[in-house]
Amino acid sequence: MTSVTTNLQDGPAPVNALEVRGLVKHYPGVKALDGVDLVVRQNEVLGLAGENGAGKSTLLKALVGLVRPDAGEIWVRGEKVKLRSVVDAADHGIGMVFQEQSLVPNLTAAENIVLGSEGAGVRRGIYRWDTMRKLAQEQLDKIGSHIDPLARTDSLSFADRQMVEIAKVLRIEERTSNPPVIILDEPTSVLESAEIETLFTQVRRLREFASVVFVSHRLDEVLDVCDRVSVLRGGQSVGEVPTAGAEPADLHRMMIGSTGSDDHYHEGLAEHSDEPARPRLVVKSMSGSTFRDVDLEVRAGEIVGIVGVHGSGREDVCRALFGAEPTLSGEVTLDGEKLDLSGTRGAVASGVGYVPAERKIEGMVGPMSVADNMMLTKQKARCTGPMVVPKKQATLVDQWIERLSIRTPHRGTQIGRLSGGNQQKVVLARWLVAGDIRLLLLDHPTRGLDIGARSEVYRLMRELANSGVATVLLADSLEEAIGMSDRIIVMNDGRATKEVSCPSGGKPTPLDLVKEMV
Amino acid sequence: MSTPVITEPASNPAAEPAVVTGAPTAAQRVTSFMPVIALVALLAALTIADPDFLTQRSLTAAVRTSAPLVVLAAGATLVVLCGGIDLSIAALCSLSTVFFAMWLPDLGGLTILVAVAAAGAIGAVQGIAHVVLRIPSFVVTLGGMSIFSAVALVISDAGPIRVIDRDATGWLNLYVAGYLPMSFFVALLVVAVISLIIKLTPLESFVRATGYSESAARLAGTPVDAVKVAAFTVSGACAGLAAVMLASRNFSGSPTMADNLLLPAVAAIVVGGTAITGGHGSLWRSLAGALVVTLLRVGLPIVGVPSAWEQILYGAIIVAAVALTLDRSKVLIIK
């Protein structure tokens, strides 16, 4: 089989392994895909880049039949198809290695590889272990892996498990005579650099007999391993670039859009005083069920990011500081006073605010009004004695709706009817209305928001920091953590293992942090 | 804190509509008036079946009968609004009639207050067991139901206890302005006072937030546990008050007196349109629901349905009312 196809001027060429035309998908309040076009040629590695919320995941899910688009077409090798399930997609030769691994941990590698496509591995309902091992070995040989097919999956390293996933996905070749299209969703996010190299070798090998769609947050990787990159923004395709000669900065500019300034994270707004501010939050060897001996210090006006892979315990540290997760030992002080973390009430009374990652479930009460959601915590601000004073509430809420440019028809509108960005601003305002906020814990504050809304949240964070609020940030991406933080704490297996200074002008690269994270 | 106004317009306003459309649909509006519509329809139907029904005498009798049910349903509505359920109300009410009849000779007029307080305290214990031991409310109150019934049987020697001193509760059998039975007036007062307290204080957002999304309420720092215990306390106290009404009408206390009121009370809540999943609803709705249930009860014999069918009807209307009011498209898991 030849390597990269050589046709340069491809018309409506049926040679395209996969083609997406004008794909549209609505979710309540969000247009996840707004007319996306995508072309995957035979035997090429196509990179897919885009910020969180750009529509990457929805597009990938549509390609493997997990999401049904509202409009648009998907063509496989010149044939229009409707993909209703993963099996449908597999029948057309499309398979995906999922971001969250989909292997069953207590089965062997061989069992996992043939799971769901046992073929000759099962006869009359009974496992033929020899045949199965042979089938699995064939798959592993295809990708040149030396993993023992009889090893239990949970005894394998993360990188090996990923190889097993790829071997498993390649089973779709049995279903179709055509070369398959393999989608790799964030395959490198938890790999060490040596493992990443192995994976890249693997991807290049895959190109010999398949087409690959490669999705990654790390633009340098995308440029390294892909032939072309397609960029998504706000649910639309904004362009395709050949990787030869392209720079990560070019891609980044396309991802955040020409209307966005270069100062995406509003670093220009950050104020720097020469004298270090007093420490506001001091955490001394705090331990909980998923974290141990965490030390942390956040000064007034400082934004401290905590980064770590899934399972690093950073979310639990954040919740523990709010009293929403039990702490077993350790001492936490706020402005020198001991913080009561036996429940959320103590933290709230001390001026600690928390914005949860799951906005729709934990952040807001959907059927309640903007005003009720905004005033939920600081009830005293709208009351005289025990009574709610509607006038007081109206003035205060309207004032904050204007201050944060919250787009809502009225303060009495149900918060569930607002867009994500405006919902998040109401949730943030909840902690600001009383003017007593000292420490803000932000758990993925920009998750699911579009670029414009994110920019507004960043700006608000800067302004709060400038007014002296201490902030702990669990960012949605490493870029965001680096862009917003003054300092970054790296967490690893429940411990704070490294502190990286992150001043404006002297920012580390994502790769610097990744080295510390794994 | 001085946060400057953010003036910069969003860079991509078209991608995110400010508001998702969703004015209440016609169906939702009908649902919200359902209890009143049902009440009027039922009155009309009964009047057609028996023109004598729409007289002052029979209407007075009907609302008088409904008073204990209104009080019982009103208290339990609070628990439902918080996202729980109180299945012990009827058993607690029966137990309270026994308390009342037993204590009346010693305590006299004070007995009313003491019985209500005792029932409230028992409700509080259930609430505390629910939030501290983290046991689902339906399990706690199902256990409570069984325990209260048994205690009532034990302390009453499994028989009714006559109320000799009728002065203490005689006022409950009077009429306000000549027509309105005092017991129903008290029931209205209970609904009005509790509703008003909730409406005018932060309690409304606490209760609704707890019912709609307990985790969001907790993470917003609202006193979720205290609100729930309070709801169970009020529910218990209401069961005690309903017991006083029943005992004053029957001139006795009995360990099974109110046991057949559990289903009607739950029916009153759901027919009123309070969401069984919590958050949405009100005590006024349960008042309307209780009147609907009472009319059905007194109306069935009029149209010639044997009273043995009553329970079938309650079962059917509970299921039907929940089917009508629950927006199942938004509830992922039905337990």
Quick check: B3 and A419 CB within 8 A? no
Q: Which two tokens stand for residue A180?
A: 């398959």
Quick check: A376 and B212 CB within 8 A? no
Q: What is the pLDDT of residues A421-464, one digit of tens each?
A: 899 999 999 999 998 999 999 999 988 777 778 888 999 999 99
Determine what percent of chain B is predicted with pLDDT higher than 90: 61
Buried b (16+ CB within 10 A) or exposed e, B68-85: bbbbbbbbbbbbbbbbbb
Residue B175 has pLDDT above 70, yes or no: yes
| pLDDT given for residue A260 in this prediction | 44
**Contacts of residue A403 in chain B, CB cutoff 8 Å?**
3, 5-6
Place of tokens 């399990």: B139
Q: What is the pLDDT of residues B260-294, one digit of tens each?
A: 999 999 999 999 989 898 998 999 999 999 999 99
d(CA A475, CA A461): 12
Q: Do A493 and A312 form a contact (C-beta atoms < 8 A)?
A: yes
Quick check: A344 and B218 CB within 8 A? yes
d(CA A489, CA A479): 14
d(CA A476, CA A116): 34
Q: Is residue B15 part of a domain?
A: no
Average pLDDT over residues B223-232: 97
Torsion of CA A452, A456, A459, A461, to 10 degrees: -130
- Name the residue among B6, B16, B280 with its Cβ closest to that of A404: B6
Q: Count up the domains in chain B and report the number.
A: 1
| pLDDT given for residue B50 in this prediction | 85
Buried b (16+ CB within 10 A) or exposed e, A132-171: bbebbbebbebbebebebeeebeebeebbbbbbbbbbbbb
d(CA A152, CA A134): 16
d(CA A133, CA A502): 50
C-alpha dist (Å) from residue B42 to B135, B240, B297: 39, 30, 11
- Name the residue among B19, B204, B217 with its Cβ closest to that of A418: B19
CA nearest to A264 within chain B: B11
Quick check: A362 and B213 CB within 8 A? yes
Give the helix/strand (H/E) hosting B156: none
Residue A149 has pLDDT above 50, yes or no: yes
Quick check: A367 and B279 CB within 8 A? yes
| pLDDT given for residue A259 in this prediction | 47
Q: Which two tokens stand for residue A441?
A: 């814990």
Quick check: B18 and A422 CB within 8 A? yes
Strands A45-49 and A211-215, by their bridges, are parallel
DSSP secondary structure letters along A130-167: HHHHHHHHHHHHHTT----TTSBGGGS-HHHHHHHHHH
| pLDDT given for residue A13 in this prediction | 47
Residue A264 has pLDDT above 80, yes or no: no
The type of residue at A211 is: S
* H runs (alpha helix) in A241-380: 248-256, 314-320, 344-349, 370-375
Q: Which two tokens stand for residue A163?
A: 């190889």
Quick check: A361 and B5 CB within 8 A? no
**Contacts of residue B208 in chain A, CB cutoff 8 Å?**
365, 367-368, 372
| pLDDT given for residue A100 in this prediction | 59
- The pLDDT-based confidence of B22 (bands split at 50, 70, 90) is very low
Average pLDDT over residues B175-180: 85
How near does any CA of chain A get to the CA of B335, in Å? 18
Residue B98 has pLDDT above 90, yes or no: yes
Quick check: B201 and A388 CB within 8 A? yes
Task: Report which of residues A454 and A69 the model is more confident about.
Answer: A69
Q: Is residue B246 part of a domain?
A: yes
CA atoms within 13 A on the CB side of B317: 25
ipTM of this complex:
0.85
Q: Is B28 helix (H, G, I), strand (E, B) or coil?
A: helix
Q: Is residue B20 part of a domain?
A: no
Average pLDDT over residues B102-130: 95
Q: Which two tokens stand for residue A368?
A: 């309640």
Quick check: A418 and B209 CB within 8 A? no
- The pLDDT-based confidence of A479 (bands split at 50, 70, 90) is confident
Q: Is residue B120 part of a domain?
A: yes
Place of tokens 């629910």: B130
Angle at A191 between CA A188 and CA A196, to 5 degrees: 70
Q: Is A391 helix (H, G, I), strand (E, B) or coil?
A: helix
Average pLDDT over residues A17-23: 92
Residue count (chain A): 518
| pLDDT given for residue B29 in this prediction | 67
Residue B9 has pLDDT above 60, yes or no: no
CA nearest to A464 within chain B: B3
Residue A42 has pLDDT above 50, yes or no: yes
d(CA A59, CA A233): 12
Residue B139 has pLDDT above 80, yes or no: yes
Give the torsion sign (CA, B264, B270, B274, B277). positive
A-B Cβ pairs (cutoff 8 Å, strict): 152
Give the helix/strand (H/E) hosting A493: none
Q: For residue B286, what are the contacts with CB-CB under 8 A and spacing of at least 6? A: B70, B73, B74, B76, B77, B191, B268, B269, B272, B274
Neighbours of A249 (CB within 10 A): 10
Q: Do A158 and A133 form a contact (C-beta atoms < 8 A)?
A: no
- Name the residue among B2, B13, B220 with its Cβ closest to that of A430: B220
Cβ-based interface (< 8 Å): residues of B facing A: 1-13, 15-22, 200-202, 204-205, 208-209, 212-213, 215-223, 279-280
Question: Under CATH, which architecture does the A280-351+438-518 domain have?
Answer: 3-Layer(aba) Sandwich (3.40)
Q: Do A494 and A334 form a contact (C-beta atoms < 8 A)?
A: no
Longest dimension (CA), chain B: 80
| pLDDT given for residue A273 in this prediction | 64
| pLDDT given for residue A9 in this prediction | 45
Quick check: A362 and B219 CB within 8 A? yes
- The pLDDT-based confidence of A272 (bands split at 50, 70, 90) is low
Neighbours of A241 (CB within 10 A): 18
SS3 sequence, B76-106? HHHHHHCCCCCCCHHHHHHHHHHHHHHHHHH
| pLDDT given for residue B310 in this prediction | 82
Q: Is residue B65 part of a domain?
A: yes
Q: What is the pLDDT of residues A325-369, one digit of tens each?
A: 999 999 999 999 999 998 899 999 999 999 998 888 899 999 999
**Contacts of residue B205 in chain A, CB cutoff 8 Å?**
368, 372, 375-376, 379
Residue A6 has pLDDT above 60, yes or no: no
**Contacts of residue A369 in chain B, CB cutoff 8 Å?**
none
Quick check: A450 and B12 CB within 8 A? yes
How near does any CA of chain A get to the CA of B3, in Å? 6
The segment with the largest mean pLDDT, out of A248-252, A403-407, B29-33, B305-309, is A403-407
How near does any CA of chain B get to the CA of A341, in Å? 12
Quick check: B11 and A259 CB within 8 A? yes
Q: Do B122 and B179 form a contact (C-beta atoms < 8 A)?
A: no
Question: Under CATH, which architecture does the A18-256 domain have?
Answer: 3-Layer(aba) Sandwich (3.40)
Q: Is B257 helix (H, G, I), strand (E, B) or coil?
A: coil
Q: Is residue B62 part of a domain?
A: yes
| pLDDT given for residue B27 in this prediction | 61
d(CA B232, CA A217): 51
**Contacts of residue A459 in chain B, CB cutoff 8 Å?**
6, 8
Please state the domain extents for chain A. 18-256, 280-351+438-518, 359-436
Place of tokens 């409950």: B172
Average pLDDT over residues B230-234: 98
How near does any CA of chain B get to the CA of A167, in Å? 34
For B206, the domain range is 57-275+284-306
| pLDDT given for residue A224 in this prediction | 87
d(CA B327, CA A512): 49
Q: Is residue B330 part of a domain?
A: no
- Name the residue among B22, B201, B222 with its Cβ closest to that of A417: B22
Mean pLDDT, chain A, whole residue set: 85
Helices (H) and strands (E) counted in chain A, each on its own, are 16, 24
Q: Do A132 and A80 form a contact (C-beta atoms < 8 A)?
A: no
Quick check: B12 and A413 CB within 8 A? no
Q: Is residue B16 part of a domain?
A: no
Residue A407 has pLDDT above 70, yes or no: yes
DSSP 8-state assignment for residue B192? H
- Lowest mean pLDDT of A76-80, A122-126, A452-456, B261-265, name the range: A122-126
Q: Which of A61, A62, A72, A3 is nearest to A35 (CA)?
A: A72
Q: How far is CA B205 from the centre of its chain?
A: 19
* H runs (alpha helix) in B160-261: 167-170, 182-200, 203-212, 214-219, 224-250
Quick check: A468 and B1 CB within 8 A? yes
**At residue A204, what are phi and psi to the nearest 5 degrees?**
-65, -35
How near does any CA of chain A get to the CA of B206, in Å? 7
- Name the residue among B10, B223, B279 with its Cβ closest to that of A453: B10
d(CA A414, CA A116): 45
Q: Do B232 and B130 form a contact (C-beta atoms < 8 A)?
A: yes
DSSP 8-state assignment for residue A275? S
Task: Report which of residues A141 and B200 the model is more confident about.
Answer: B200
Determine if residue A206 is left, alpha or beta; phi over 0 gives left, psi from -120 to 50 gives alpha, anything else beta. Answer: alpha
Quick check: B15 and A234 CB within 8 A? yes
d(CA A312, CA A178): 41
Residue A15 has pLDDT above 80, yes or no: no
